[in-house]
A and B are shown apart, each in its own frame.
Chain A
């Protein structure tokens, strides 16, 4: 009797354990651990709970999701193939302006196609992807530094073009694209932003978990060894760079129709790239989730500084710089490495009793 019960119990345990393992494996395929899922659900429910259910805090959360998704797309290139896309913000701006111009209905510009924003943000993403593809074809057969510097040059040129074509973009006067949603409430935008963050993360994670991700990692770690084992570095690097730019363009489109005001300086300036770069590296290169996880607390921290230390403008930029330097020299794995070190210690302690 007792014997039978034990067998039944172990069987039940095995089944539930198997189910648990199955769920874990399925989650791992899209790059989530159970703790990650819980954290994501908490972040998603945050604006429904006081004190976070105020409009301005929801707005910060939208910016957190936006910055986090940018860090994910940036780290896909920087962390995997070790190429810094120094024109990231400008390429994002291409998506933003393409989408904004195509959805424009106001008679202030020479073209008013008036397409729905839901459609145009995808066209914007493709436009960014095209720029990324051309830039990658030009520079990625050379050493990584050429891609970084050339992307910077192209970024400055694109910003110059956006400023110099006032009939198309209204230049530095600012351009007001139509809103994405028919509401002034921030909460629906928050869920769109989270959706885009999730889409970016899962798509790019599926790529990195495939054989292509293996090639990316090999190229990033040792390009000669990768070439020796039959990988064509240029091809994989261009694919990676283009994909990252596509998601940058998608994010740009979202930003344009959320903020409702575009100027070249506020979207495409190099300092915007550096913000994302700092987030991605502080979060942990090659982890992809690190930048997204760091983005939310950072946005709160920055807004706290801005409201309490208004007499010190740009303090958060100095902090970004110092943190970037410290992480680069002393802790190259960033927050993601810190997390895994802690997790390992906790696990060891749990096993040890």
Chain B
């Protein structure tokens, strides 16, 4: 029997989260200020780029936060899910493109990219489920001792196998799709918006919102959240833990694969393409607090703004150096992350 309890909406939950967190307020205010600065000094097209990138980092980080929050796995192979998505989208979309060249079809040319993205998400889902059943399930059966560190090492191993396995089979060549749609960019004032950018942003937002609705208003989604809060309690009320774990991991992998597929025009597929998305997803998750899914959504945009600022004022080569300075400040001042971690026992003192 369903209890008719009003679920707090995303906005309400975020506000609840923020009320007691000055660091989050300061960071969000600074981010908005920086957005204005970017808009004025770097031009509105940079502003649009920043927002598109933010959506993608948010999509990546949500998966990472989910896997840590629910399963306590610090997922180091999340970038390789991105890579898998990019490859699947390439191998699905290229034949579609070739067939379109011979006999044009307006419907297929509009829907073709979406088919490729759906295929990438589907393959990501299946790969994630297989990974969980093949690697984490046996470990969980054997022992839960030292779980976080052991699974971290396992994901490192998975990452190595996926990256160098892909390199072995497909070679180190770049496989990219410069544009999904043969459409002229939409021009608003001085901003040129290509269809790919708009679509990538829309997909990220739709995926995040759909995921949020799934988590907050379906039975299975609530079960996932229950497992994240209290594993033993969840098991006691009859939730099938193994099913929830596999589903969670598969969903996270699918989201990363979707990100990889929709960003194929920016990041061509090659074996180590996932490193940068992985790095930024971890940056988001550490910044907002490990395992905090709502925080990860906002954090994606914060990180994208910081990234654009670094590129504008220090140069692209310092893109790896500035995050460390930010992280040191976070660890010194708010080690739980600016939105607070939803995993117990961050401090070991």
Contacts and interface: CB of A to CB of B under 8 A. Distances in A.
Given A82-B149, A142-B348, A329-B135, A153 B323 contact: yes
Nearest to A152: B282
A157 B320 CA distance: 5
A313 B163 CA distance: 12
Contacts of A328: 139, 150, 153-154, 157
Contacts of A314: 164, 167-168
Contacts of A60: none
Interface stretch (B5-13, B120-128, B239-247, B325-333): B325-333
Which of A153, A163, A277, A278 has most B Cβ within 10 Å? A153
B168 A157 contact: no
A214 to B, nearest CB: 19
Contacts of B324: 153-154, 156-157
A233 B158 CA distance: 31
Contacts of B138: 329-330
Contacts of B157: 278, 320-322, 324-325, 328
11 contacts: A141-B347, A142-B347, A145-B148, A149-B74, A149-B286, A150-B327, A281-B153, A312-B168, A314-B167, A324-B157, A325-B161
A321 B323 contact: no
Given A156-B279, A160-B321, A277 B345 contact: no
Interface in B308-347: 317-321, 323-324, 327-328, 331-332, 335, 345-347
Contact of B160 (A157, A160, A321, A330): A321
Interface of B is mostly: helix
B338 to A, nearest CB: 15
A-B residue pairs, 7 tightest by C-beta:
A321-B160, A160-B320, A321-B161, A324-B157, A317-B164, A157-B324, A325-B157
B95 interface: no
Given A141-B335, A160-B319, 18 more contacts: A138-B331, A138-B332, A142-B335, A143-B148, A144-B148, A145-B152, A146-B335, A150-B327, A153-B282, A159-B320, A164-B318, A223-B348, A318-B165, A321-B158, A322-B157, A324-B156, A328-B150, A329-B139
Q: Which secondary structure characterizes the binding site on chain A?
A: helix
A237 B298 CA distance: 34
Given A138-B332, A149-B282, A328-B139, A144 B349 contact: no
